[in-house]
Structure 1
Amino acid sequence: MKTKVVRDIIRIDEAKCDGCGACALKCAEGAIEIYKGKARLISENYCDGLGACIGECPRGALTIERRETEEFDDEAVKKHLEAQKPQPILPCGCPSTAVQEFKREPVPARGGKAPSLLGHWPVQLALVSPTAPFLKGADLVLAAHCGPFAYGNFQEDFIKGRAVVCACPKLDDFQAHQQKLTEILRRSGVKRITVVRMEVPCCGGLMFMVKEALRASGRDVPVTEVVLTTKGEIAG
């Protein structure tokens, strides 16, 4: 039986909380998650009661209260944080699943060749871990596989300064992608999503995927849809 003590602990006012996820990102112990559109404590023994998250809340939904609760458990927090680290997606340990981040400095194009603006790896939605560090608080682009081939300025217009994942709603495992996107929304604090898809009808499944993932995760983040024509132009 866990020991109960009287101590300081975070109190979350659900009526004020809008589920933005800022508090979850700030909490060094990983004690807060977004569930059904509201912040909540994952476990009371993960919260140290110091209140580092309070100043991050734009709605004033977080306060400190003193009450009887479980003792803060530093060892439990360490195990919890360890479990949140990105894990290989495939049992083979394929290099394509290894999480990488790249620091890209603006470099003038030389000889007509422009440098890559991609800031991380992997990009295939099937290979991306929901806890990948490049997803935390990200402006996320969900791109159709064909988009970068059709639109010549794709990196400059859609990848620069953003996290990007790609998928095909027709040829990939749609259900698995929807579940992965749901976990990303629950655990990463993504701030906005831009869906870049082709004009072909089947590609509209990407927007449906996002809407279902938002519903399942309880998150409410802005979503923008960009439709590309097969001639490499932005429709409309």
Structure 2
Amino acid sequence: MVKRLIIRIDEEKCNGCGLCIPGCAEGALQIIDGKARLVREALCDGLGACLGDCPQGALYLEEAEAEAFDPELVAALLEEQEAKESGAARIDTGSEGLGGGCPGLRSLSIDRQKEKQKEAAPTQYDSEEATSTRSELGHWPVQLSLISPTAHYLKGAHLLVCADCVPFAYGDFHKRLLRDRVVAVACPKLDDASQHVEKLAAVIRANDLAGITVARMEVGCCGGLLRIVEVAMAMAGVALPIHDVVISIAGEEKAAQIREMGA
């Protein structure tokens, strides 16, 4: 037991709506007997990412004696939940409800090798018009706020920290930026920058990343994304060169440079 911040639920205020469940990427919260419950203290990282999701104000952080946060336990739980869903990319619309958390938050890898094999064997129906660009996305989720620092696909990965607007503006996004990279999507203007810094620092610290690329738009507010990565890297005490790619509003690669960072 250690003294640390831990999530607490005011049962009188909680109405069991379940909106807090997706806010906890670690799966520490579940709806049990019509109320939000902390499944186990070791699953709660104490960062409070779920606090803003409760319309009743029933969630709060308390400094108290509690089990230490256990990232390995979190990873095991999420893997178990993923295994239960068997066929990770399957969409389950059954009646399990919110008790097990949001299926969209499960960390999973997407096998693109089978798609490559299919493309290598053309059929009589193939034509230039029918051919589409293959997705290079190899994992889920993609939003930085939803990604768990302990997700298996992050180990030794090249991380692409990408502004929300880039995939819409840049036609070659999948081929030139996403391929062979793990993406974390964020908006430096609309999102909580401090939360992103903390999450990125945890990701960088825990995963021995092969590299980091920042993809951002040319608009001024998007420069904040690079700053978020720089601060997170300093917080993590890790020095990696940052590949900084700037995309124009017209959808062209306007600039690309490598920024060396000191630990």
Give me the TM-score of the superposition, normalised by structure 2: 0.56
1:93 matched to 2:101? The reply is yes
Q: Is the 8 A contact 1:194 1:224 kept in 2?
A: yes
Q: Where do 5+ consecutive residues of structure 2 fail to align?
A: 1-69, 82-97, 256-263
Q: Does 2:111 correspond to 1:103?
A: yes
Separation (CA, whole Å) in 1 of partners of 2:200 and 2:253? 25
Give 1:94's aligned amino acid: C
Cα displacement (A) at 1:85:
4.2
Q: Deviations over 1:80-101 (max 9, x none)?
A: 743554759x987112211110
Runs of 4+ in 1 over 4 A off after TM superposition: 83-88
Question: What is the aligned counterpart of 1:196 among 215, 229, 240?
Answer: 215
3-state SS of paired residue (1:235): strand
Could you tell me how far apart the structure 2 residues matched to 1:166 and 1:91 are? 27
User: Quick one: which of 218, 222, 225 aligns to 2:237?
Assistant: 218
How far has the Cα of 1:227 moved from its partner? Answer: 0.1
Match of 1:157 among 156, 176, 188: 176
Q: Does 1:169 align with 2:169?
A: no
Distance 2:216 2:172 in 1: 14
Over 3 Å counting, the alpha-carbon distance change for 1:91 and 1:162 in structure 2 is: farther
Paired residue type of 1:128: I
- Any conservation in 2 of the 1:192–1:221 contact (CA below 8 Å)? yes
Q: Report the TM-score when normalising by structure 1.
A: 0.62
Alignment gaps of 5+ in structure 1: 1-78
Name the CA distance, whole Å, in 2 between partners of 1:193 and 1:179: 16
SS of 2:246 mapped into structure 1:
strand
Task: Indicate the residue corresponding to 1:181 in structure 2.
Answer: 200
Question: Are positions 1:145 and 2:128 aligned together?
Answer: no
Q: Tell me the SS of whatever aligns to 1:186.
A: helix
**Residue identity in the other structure for 2:227:** F
> Within 2, Cα distance between the matches of 1:80 and 1:124?
19
How far, CA to CA, are the matches of 1:162 and 1:152 in structure 2? 17
Q: Relative CO higher for 1 or 2, CA cutoff 8 Å, sep ≥ 6?
A: 1
What's the C-alpha RMSD, in Å, of the aligned pairs?
Answer: 2.3
Residue 50 of structure 2 corresponds to none
Deviation of residue 141 (structure 1)? 0.4
List per-residue Cα deviations over 1:183-236 (Å, max 9, x = no partner): 001111112100000000000011100110011000011211000000000114
Q: Which residue of 1 is the match for residue 254 of structure 2?
A: 235
